[in-house]
Amino acid sequence: MNFIDLLKRIPEICKTPETLPLEGKKLILDFVTWLGSLVGIAVPPWVLTLVNILVVIVAIIAVFLIMFALMSVWERKILARAQNRYGPNRVGPWGLFQPVADGIKMLTKEDIVPRNADKVVHFIAPIVMLVPALILPVLLPYGRGMVAIDLSVGILFFFAVGAGSEVAIFLAGWSSRNKYSILGAMRAIAQMISYELPLVMSAVIVALVAGTLSPTGIVEAQGGYQFGFFPNWFVFTPWGFVACVLFYFSALAESNRSPFDLPEGESELVAGHLTEYSGFKYALFFMAEYVGMFAINGLLVTLFLGGYQAPLPFLTFIPSWCWFFIKLAFLAFSLVWVRATMPRFRIDQMMQFAWKFMLPMSFAALFSAAAWHYAGRGLLGWGISAVLVAIPYFALGYFCFTRHHSADNRRYLFSE
Amino acid sequence: MNTALNLLHLLTPESILVETILVVLIAGLFKATAQKRNMLLSLTLIGGVTAGAMLIFQPHYGNIANGMAVLDPLTRFIKVVVLGLSLITAVYAVQSNIRQHFAEYLALILFTAIGMMLLAGTENLLMIFIALEMVSIPLYLLAGFLKQSSASAEASLKYFLVGGVSAAFLLFGISLIYGTTGATSLRDLAQSAPAVTRDPLFLAGLVMAIVGFGFKVAAVPFHLWAPDVYEGAPTSSAALIASGSKVAGFLILAKFLAIGLAGAAGSAASSQLQPGWLPLLAVIAAISIVVGNLAALSQSNVKRILAYSAIAQSGYMLLGLSATGGTALISVLFYVVVYALTALGAFGVVLHVEQRRGGSQLHHFEGLHQSAPGLALCMGVFMISLAGIPPLAGFFGKFYLFAGALGSASQGGNLGLLWVVAIAITFNAVSLYYYLIVLKHVFVTPATHPAEPVTRRNAATFVTGLLAVSVFAIGLYPGVLLDPLRAAAQAANRKPVTAAPVQPK
Amino acid sequence: MSPILFWIFSALMLGFGAATILNRNPVASALSLVVSFLGLAALFFGLDANFIGVIQILVYAGAVMVLFIFIIMLLDLKAEQRRQINIPALLGGVAIVVAFTAQLVTVIRSYKAGNEPFAAITPNLPDAHNIGMTLFANYNLPFQVIGVLILVASIGVVVLSQRELK
């Protein structure tokens, strides 16, 4: 094997885009072996394993950080468009280099630690926030055979790791010794606990139907086409649609995105748990939030939108991993869209929405999914399932969101 | 699937109780009216009586999932008893000073009843633990139900902490026993236990399990929570803690030791001491009798007197348990049931006095025979029965218990437990003093309190009277209680060990 | 699991478990407990019990600890006061600990199963499936009773924590 052979393989690999990333990884491993032979030693297997792991990690982190950078521009552009202005357009073509400028600004800013802060915890918090966020993308299947760790309990592991960010937010809020920080952290944790229930419940529904907790298995369960053209994605079943919407809103709340951004509501709490952070620590929080948001939306794609499956049979020529990122980009766009459109919730509305509407609806969707399964997953099941989610939807809507009381009937329980 | 159906079949009464609880909770949500408490109580009673009726018409035998849920005549008898005790407590609750969350209070009483019934009807260590928690957790809440009273909060917290520690002990003990024998079912345990009686891990597990149970039944080194809880908790809650949970606790301790660990008994006879649970139990019994009776002498609060008396009575019952074989189990169960009825009745009188006179100190009882002669008479019956004086049920309880302990076959029939029985009889004489002190305040001391209006009859006093009559009747004709117990126990023994899941009646 | 990893995670678990008790600051205690739970979960992963490991993180390190932390935050607990050390009590405690440890060591030495090597772990067991089958078939009754128990607990929480309306 020599270097020329390796170079020759590159155009070959590029001919089949479907397997491009996997073949690329093999190429790098062969390159390492070649490097070894250059020095005159046989590369030990543990080095190859290590390189294998590192390549995957670097690739995933690089992809997500690039996405984060692009998203920060894209979000501002879309928001600007929604508000009838230009948005960032000074740095580079169409303002594309804005993230670089932002990064330099963040890095060179003074890192301020309040005098009374618990310095160790204050330092640890951004790290504790970022690490789980970077673990999350490892679990997602990006394409056929493209999953870094195919864990049999991947879905649960995802939520388990995701819970780390709650601890991090608490650390940040508590260690700052600042009223705004601690209020923001309390709001954030209350919100995340509340929305974790519908989030996990709607994932459980999918696990129930797919019969597995492995993300790859769930994507495979959504393969194939009904009547030859209609994709078997779970979002196209009544229960799946409900669960998908619930998951979407819970994901919004979990990543503290507008309209659920009251933990850092600027007009009330300065910046919530981030109040006392500046410079690079702030940037780490920011990065963790975005990476976590991509990851959880990636999970939504996996659970409901068919993962890497193409939407129509004749579109399968586009490689599977492209489909994953196309769907993810669509979701990212919708997040910004929601942010530009919706006003922020009030805290009691937010809590009511979680406990009185989303949680019961997720149970309804669970029953509906079970009915769909036992009715044979056909049109009959589709109908029964639709009825089973429609009834609770209208009932809950009537009881939760219709005003039954006049204004003076309100009770202010905690205002004495 | 078949198992699930059998389970439902076997546990219909418990399921009915759960449904009753849900109905009561939902009914409790509606706006309060004057009749609401009585309405809630009648819902509870209807549900409870239905469950009791289902219990009586159930198949005679059942055994699900290797002893998770068993049913035999003895079990059924105890289940009916604990259900009845809980319902009586619910009647008391209406008269008590619980105003807020009354529906929840009744629901928690029913939850306790479910726990006790499950506890009575299981022969599996795992289920025993869960059912014990099912009894304990509602009781913690019931003890702390008076949120305005700091004594109630203290009682609840103490009960909770001690209960939590005891649960940890029990769980650790059970896990060690399971680890060495590989069995959670008591019948399997009985087969594999004799092989490991010398195993130190097994003995450690055994001791820990007995410590755990000791907390639950308030035997002496583990009794410190009892007086404060009895005093601080709402009286109706204390009544349930003293009666129902004691019956269930002793039944399960008896099952655990006599069925599961019969092979690891050892011997407590003074001549031939052998390691095992028997010597441990005998020593605990002796200390409980001594400490309980002595500490009761210096109390001035009737609830505390009842608490220390309960500790002493636990000692008597443990003495009964350490006399295995023969009719010992019957005599213990007879004793426990009689004790539960008596204690419940005594708490009924205390409840009345507390509502009328605002406390349960001894001086609050002064002149009770003038203001409420009927209740005073009842109190007399209960106290004398607790002291074990002949015409009443308590006497026969103690008589059978001591006779069983003396003639216990497993001790070689040669009066091996004589030393414990001697202690018990001596201190029974001591106990007479404080029971009679209470009666002195009730009957002899003239009232220093302003005279209150003559008692209006209500359900609670009626039930208290009924309890007094039953204690009296059992005293006159012990067979009323003894015969069904005996018959049930014989029938339970006759059943094949590997019973079919459910035999139709 | 390689023995090195086992020792690392065990040390992590025990060290932070001790830190939980020794710390005077309640927040530091709670966070040490989180790390201790994570170490335990890692041990489960090492035994190829992925499901239990994940549940350990999800339930204990996630839900339970977050609630702990939330309560600490709501109550604004201060660091515990340093107490006068009671020498006889300390000595008594140490004596009991030493005696108990010695006893435990001798018991485990003499216990035959304590010296046997474990059987090899079967990798890639469908553990979630197995646990589900066991739970819903053999242990159906305890499972349902625990469901009722949780209902009791939630009623209790509502009753005890609701403010009395005057």
Q: Domain limits of chain A?
A: 1-43, 61-108, 112-402
Single-letter amino acid, residue B107 = A
Cβ-Cβ contacts under 8 Å, A186 against chain C: 70, 73-74
Averaged in consecutive runs of 10 residues, what is the pLDDT profile of chain A (416 residues)? 75 77 79 80 80 86 88 88 86 84 86 82 87 87 82 85 84 84 84 88 89 87 80 85 91 84 75 82 87 90 86 80 88 89 82 87 90 83 84 82 58 52
Last residue of a domain, one of B233, B261, B289: B261
- The answer to whether A163 contacts C55, with C-beta atoms less than 8 Å apart, is no
Q: Which residues contact C98 (CB under 8 A, 6 or more apart)?
A: none
> Quick one: which H or E segment has residue B366?
none
CA distance B325 to B340: 23
Residue B497: pLDDT band by 50, 70, 90 thresholds? Answer: very low
Best of C2, C52, C58, C158 to substitute, by most chain A Cβ atoms within 10 angstroms, is C58
Regarding whether B470 and B392 lie in a shared domain, the answer is yes
Please determine, for residue C164, whether its predicted confidence score (pLDDT) is greater than 70.
Answer: no
Regarding whether B38 and B143 lie in a shared domain, the answer is yes
**For chain A, what is the total number of helices (H) and then of strands (E)?**
16, 4
> Quick one: which H or E segment has residue B293?
helix B277-297
CA distance C108 to B270: 32
The pLDDT value recorded for residue A61 is 87
The pLDDT value recorded for residue B450 is 62
Please determine, for residue B158, whether its predicted confidence score (pLDDT) is greater than 70.
Answer: yes
pLDDT, tens digit (0-9, with 9 covering 90-100), for B46-99? 898 888 888 888 776 777 767 788 888 888 888 888 999 999 898 888 877 777
The pLDDT value recorded for residue B494 is 58
Q: Which of A170-174, A253-257, B466-470, B492-496 has the lowest mean pLDDT?
A: B492-496
CA distance A230 to A226: 5
Per-residue pLDDT averaged across B291-301, rounded? 88
Per-residue pLDDT averaged across B214-242, rounded? 87
pLDDT, tens digit (0-9, with 9 covering 90-100), for C64-89? 877 787 777 777 666 666 777 788 88
Please determine, for residue C15, whether its predicted confidence score (pLDDT) is greater than 90.
Answer: yes
Q: How many domains does chain B have?
A: 2
CB A377 within 8 A of CB A345: no
Q: How many CB pairs under 8 A join A and C?
A: 67
Best of C2, C23, C54, C164 to substitute, by most chain A Cβ atoms within 10 angstroms, is C54
Task: Please give the ipTM for the structure prediction.
Answer: 0.84
Find the farthest-apart pair of alpha carbons in chain B and give their distance in angstroms, rounded. Answer: 68
Q: Do chains B and C touch (3 or more CB pairs under 8 A)?
A: yes
A413 CB within 8 Å of a chain C CB:
yes
> How confident is the prediction for chain B on average, in pLDDT?
81
**For chain C, what is the total number of helices (H) and then of strands (E)?**
8, 0
The pLDDT value recorded for residue A248 is 92
pLDDT, tens digit (0-9, with 9 covering 90-100), for B1-26? 466 677 777 888 888 899 999 998 88
CA distance B265 to B206: 11
Half-sphere exposure of A385 (CA within 13 A, CB side): 29
CA distance A136 to A150: 13
Last residue of a domain, one of B261, B295, B325: B261
B133 CB within 8 Å of a chain C CB:
yes
Q: Name which of C141, C162, C164 is nearest B7 (Cβ-Cβ).
A: C141
Would B186 be classed as within a structural domain?
yes
Which residue(s) pair with B301 in the sheet? B361
Length of chain C: 166
Would B303 be classed as within a structural domain?
yes
- Beta strands (DSSP E) in A118-204 are 141-143, 146-147
- The answer to whether C107 contacts B138, with C-beta atoms less than 8 Å apart, is no
CA distance A169 to A184: 9
Segment 11-70 of chain C within 8 Å of chain B by CB: none
The pLDDT value recorded for residue B499 is 40
Most confident of the ranges B55-59, B374-378, B488-492, C61-65: B374-378
C43-57 burial: b if 16+ Cβ within 10 Å, else e? bbbbebbbbbbbbbb
Per-residue pLDDT averaged across C54-73, rounded? 80
The pLDDT value recorded for residue B111 is 92
pLDDT, tens digit (0-9, with 9 covering 90-100), for A343-402? 888 887 888 888 888 898 999 999 998 888 888 777 788 888 888 888 888 888 887 776
- The answer to whether C142 contacts B144, with C-beta atoms less than 8 Å apart, is no
What secondary structure letter does DSSP report for A111?
-
CA distance A37 to B37: 89
Cβ-Cβ contacts under 8 Å, C48 against chain A: none
The pLDDT value recorded for residue B454 is 57
CA distance C111 to C119: 17
Q: In chain B, pLDDT over 90 holds for what percent of residues?
A: 7
What secondary structure letter does DSSP report for A409?
G
The pLDDT value recorded for residue B474 is 85
Regarding whether B284 and B182 lie in a shared domain, the answer is no
CA distance A259 to A343: 6
The pLDDT value recorded for residue B503 is 40
A291 burial type by CB count under 10 A (0-12 exposed, 13-18 middle, 19+ buried): buried
Would B164 be classed as within a structural domain?
yes
CB C53 within 8 A of CB A166: no
Please determine, for residue C119, whether its predicted confidence score (pLDDT) is greater than 80.
Answer: no
Residue B500: pLDDT band by 50, 70, 90 thresholds? Answer: very low
Would B501 be classed as within a structural domain?
no
CA distance B375 to B353: 9
Q: Do chains B and A touch (3 or more CB pairs under 8 A)?
A: no
Regarding whether B402 and B274 lie in a shared domain, the answer is yes
CB B148 within 8 A of CB B103: no
Q: Which residues contact B191 (CB under 8 A, 6 or more apart)?
A: B183
The pLDDT value recorded for residue B457 is 64
Regarding whether B295 and B195 lie in a shared domain, the answer is no
Please determine, for residue B502, whether its predicted confidence score (pLDDT) is greater than 50.
Answer: no
Regarding whether B227 and B294 lie in a shared domain, the answer is no
Please name the residue that has the structure tokens 């896990």. B175
C92 CB within 8 Å of a chain B CB:
no
Nearest of B260, B257, B271, B270 to residue B321 by alpha carbon: B257
CB A333 within 8 A of CB A359: no
pLDDT, tens digit (0-9, with 9 covering 90-100), for A165-220? 888 888 888 888 888 888 888 888 888 888 888 998 999 899 888 888 888 888 88
What is the DSSP secondary-structure string of A211-254? T---HHHHHHHT-SEETTTEE--GGGSHHHHHHHHHHHHHHHHH
Residue B493: pLDDT band by 50, 70, 90 thresholds? Answer: low
Most confident of the ranges B165-174, B316-325, C56-65: B165-174
Regarding whether B26 and B6 lie in a shared domain, the answer is yes
CB A77 within 8 A of CB A86: no
Regarding whether B128 and B97 lie in a shared domain, the answer is yes
Q: Which of A270-274, A357-361, B135-139, B306-310 has the lowest mean pLDDT?
A: A270-274
CA distance A136 to A291: 9
Q: Which domain holds residue B421?
A: 265-495
- The answer to whether C141 contacts B68, with C-beta atoms less than 8 Å apart, is yes
B118 CB within 8 Å of a chain C CB:
yes
Query: Nearest C-alpha of chain B: how many angstroms from C29?
Result: 20
Per-residue pLDDT averaged across B456-484, rounded? 82
Would B491 be classed as within a structural domain?
yes
Please name the residue that has the structure tokens 């520690």. B165
Please determine, for residue B505, whether its predicted confidence score (pLDDT) is greater than 60.
Answer: no
Residue B193: pLDDT band by 50, 70, 90 thresholds? Answer: confident
C-beta atoms surrounding B25 within 10 Å? 17
Regarding whether B288 and B240 lie in a shared domain, the answer is no
Nearest CA in chain B to C153: B137
Tokens of A152: 């049999």
What secondary structure letter does DSSP report for B63?
E
